[in-house]
């Protein structure tokens, strides 16, 4: 299905059950100490790469620093998420329920309020949706009509825990 605005696709996607907006990414507040430690670590890694004559590692560190700086300059975009009776709409893209294996919710306010959608395909990434002020019980009830809840997943993925702790 070609990408169209969510309003146009909602007719094809079925009746909207729940909808909300959430930021594209969480923008962490980093103090002066965080930037000092990050700078010291970057300089230390560059020094190590220089003395071991590892130019590729040096290039990777420099590119990572540039990407990090550029990524933190822009403000997060608001993403519209909707659960319909035949799938979900994320931003302007409709995804039918048949592509998902399961879902799970991690609700540990105020730090973590997240819905995860697990696709069947090994090559498709797990979809993470911030609940914002949505009632997790309402979201769970809406999705249980169409998807299986993965009750074995009680914690958020370790990569996201590490990212939050390191303020990435």
In the chain, where the domains are located: 6-26+75-165, 32-71
Start-to-end CA distance of the chain, whole Å, equals: 34
Residue 93 in contact with residue 12, Cβ under 8 Å? no
40, 42, 80, 144 from 35: Cα distances, Å? 9, 10, 32, 43
The model's pTM: 0.71
CA torsion, points 110, 115, 121, 122, in degrees to nearest 10? 20
Which ranges of 1-97 would DSSP assign to H, the alpha helix?
A: 6-13, 32-51, 55-71
105, 143, 158 from 155: Cα distances, Å? 9, 19, 8
| Residue in the structure block whose two tokens are 């590692």 | 57
164's tokens: 């939050």
Q: What is the pLDDT of residues 7-39, one digit of tens each?
A: 444 457 778 888 889 888 777 778 888 889 989
Q: Kindly list the strands in the beta sheet with 93-96, ordered across the sheet, starting from the edge strand earlier in the chain.
A: 16-23, 78-84, 87-90, 93-96
CATH of 6-26+75-165, one of 2.70.50, 2.40.230, 3.30.420, 2.30.29: 2.30.29
- Beta strands 100-108; 148-149: pairing state: parallel
Return mean pLDDT, the chain: 83
Helix (H, G, I), strand (E, B) or coil at 154: coil
pLDDT at position 59 over 90: yes
More confident residue, 85 or 43: 43
């Amino acid at each position: 299905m070609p990408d169209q605005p969510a309003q146009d696709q909602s007719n094809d996607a079925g009746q909207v059950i729940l909808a909300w907006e959430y930021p594209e990414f969480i923008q962490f507040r980093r103090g002066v100490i965080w930037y000092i430690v990050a700078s010291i670590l970057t300089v230390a890694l560059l020094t190590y790469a220089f003395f071991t004559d590892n130019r590729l590692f040096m290039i990777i560190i420099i590119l990572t620093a540039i990407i990090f700086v550029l990524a933190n300059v822009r403000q997060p975009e608001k993403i519209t998420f909707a659960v319909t009776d035949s799938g979900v709409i994320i931003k302007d893209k409709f995804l039918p329920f048949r592509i998902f294996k399961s879902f799970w919710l991690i609700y540990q306010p105020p730090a973590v309020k997240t819905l995860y959608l697990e696709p069947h395909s090994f090559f498709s990434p797990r979809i993470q949706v911030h609940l914002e002020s949505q009632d997790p019980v309402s979201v769970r009830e809406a999705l249980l009509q169409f998807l299986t809840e993965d009750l074995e997943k009680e914690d958020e993925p370790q990569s996201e825990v590490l990212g939050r702790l390191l303020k990435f």
